[in-house]
Amino acid sequence: MLRLAGARLLDDRDYPAVRAALAADPVGSCMVSARVEAAGLDPWRLGGELWAADSRPVRAGRLQGLCFSGPNLIPLRGNAPALRSFADRALRRQRTCSSLVGPAEQVLGLWDELEGEWGPAREVRDDQPLMALDSTPLVAADPLVRPVRPDELERYLPAAVAMFIEEVGVDPRSGDGGASYRARVTELIGAGRAFARFEDGEVVFKAEIGAMSATVGQIQGVWVHPDRRGDGLGTAGTAAVVNRLVRGLGRTASLYVNAFNTPALAAYRKIGFKQVGQYATVLF
């Protein structure tokens, strides 16, 4: 197959065009927007690279394609030629990302280009409704759900690990003994973005605000203790986190969920979430 020249690494000259592209879809781009707002476009501070399919800096107008390459590969926009250019650049180096995630059309199109070299995937989740809520939840929030304190890390961490294994299918403690995952959870707790309901010192509900831009907060890691499932803790607990985002922080609450997870979908719709897009995830 004839390939295009690889994607271009973005720099500070592209910042206005990048911000405009991210602002055009604030919910879908939350994970990348949060990084760019905090760190700009410098790869070292950003924790990854931003790529465009355009051959030269865009001083005015719209970027034709945009992709973040870091711990995850996140294609946010781009037609077929743009996705081929992203694939070309990604294939120049050894894969280091743990997943390919983002808007379904871009993710699945990019995976078509990468699968021959990077496949097979451990799992392809091709239908993940992206949902948002910018008003008070339609159900009562659990008053016992609160931010986790730094001194509660050891009690919170087992629930976080259990959630990760259930959701992702691998143990986050493998490889480095859990040091990286522990550091990430510690960071979320320190930022006041990990929430839980404790009963007798044990976590029975947990959730986190994984990424937070100036306008959107993305809820992740929603988990209920197996012995307490079916009691409504997930719905009321998530509503409490939504309240924190919408009423406390002035953000739109967002999340994405596997379409096959019908109980979770029903709970989020009961809270008031509406689907605003579709995500997909390729797990390595």
Among candidate residues 81, 108, 93, the one with its CA nearest the CA of residue 48: 93
Tokens at 109, concatenated: 């199109």
Q: Is residue 162 part of a domain?
A: yes
235 in the same domain as 165? yes
Among candidate residues 192, 193, 199, the one with its CA nearest the CA of residue 231: 199
157 in the same domain as 208? yes
Instruction: Quote the pLDDT of residue 64.
Output: 82
Q: Is residue 176 part of a domain?
A: yes
Question: Is the Cβ–Cβ distance between 18 and 49 less than 8 Å?
Answer: no
Which residues 6+ apart lie within 8 Å of 5 measured at CB?
A: 55, 85, 88
The interaxial angle of helices 30-39 and 15-23, nearest 10 deg, is 150
Q: For the chain (length 284 residues), average pLDDT per consecutive 10? A: 65 92 97 97 96 71 88 96 95 94 98 97 97 98 98 97 94 92 97 98 97 98 96 97 97 97 96 98 97
Q: Is the peptide bond before 120 cis (omega within 30 degrees of 0)?
A: yes
Which residues 6+ apart lie within 8 Å of 82 measured at CB?
A: 7, 53, 64, 65
**How many structural domains is the chain composed of?**
2
Instruction: Quote the pLDDT of residue 59.
Output: 55
Instruction: Quote the pLDDT of residue 257.
Output: 97
Please return the burial class of 227, using the count of CB atoms within 10 Å of its CB with bins 0-12, 13-18 and 19+.
exposed
Tokens at 176, concatenated: 């480095």
Tokens at 280, concatenated: 């997909």
184 in the same domain as 105? no
Q: Is residue 1 part of a domain?
A: no
Instruction: Quote the pLDDT of residue 57.
Output: 59
175 in the same domain as 264? yes
**What global pTM score does this model have?**
0.93
Q: Select from 86, 103, 120 the last residue of a domain.
A: 120
Instruction: Quote the pLDDT of residue 284.
Output: 94
Instruction: Quote the pLDDT of residue 2.
Output: 37
- The string of pLDDT tens digits covering residues 153-173 is 999 999 999 999 999 999 999
- The string of pLDDT tens digits covering residues 43-61 is 999 999 999 987 665 555 5
155 in the same domain as 87? no
154 in the same domain as 72? no
Q: How far lies 226's CA from each of 222, 250, 269, 283, in Å?
A: 13, 32, 22, 24
159 in the same domain as 48? no
Query: Which range of residues forms the domain containing residue 69?
Result: 8-120
58 in the same domain as 159? no
Q: Is residue 125 part of a domain?
A: no
Q: Select from 78, 105, 120 the last residue of a domain.
A: 120
Q: Is residue 282 part of a domain?
A: no
19 in the same domain as 78? yes
114 in the same domain as 159? no
Instruction: Quote the pLDDT of residue 62.
Output: 76
Q: Is residue 240 part of a domain?
A: yes
Q: Is residue 138 part of a domain?
A: no
Which residues 6+ apart lie within 8 Å of 85 measured at CB?
A: 4, 5, 6, 7, 51, 53, 65
Question: Is the Cβ–Cβ distance between 261 and 249 less than 8 Å?
Answer: no
Q: Is residue 155 part of a domain?
A: yes
161 in the same domain as 101? no
Instruction: Quote the pLDDT of residue 61.
Output: 59
34 in the same domain as 100? yes
The overall average pLDDT reported for the chain is 94
Question: What is the CATH number for 189?
Answer: 3.40.630.30
Among candidate residues 255, 262, 268, the one with its CA nearest the CA of residue 130: 255
Which residues 6+ apart lie within 8 Å of 270 measured at CB?
A: 138, 139, 235
Instruction: Quote the pLDDT of residue 4.
Output: 45
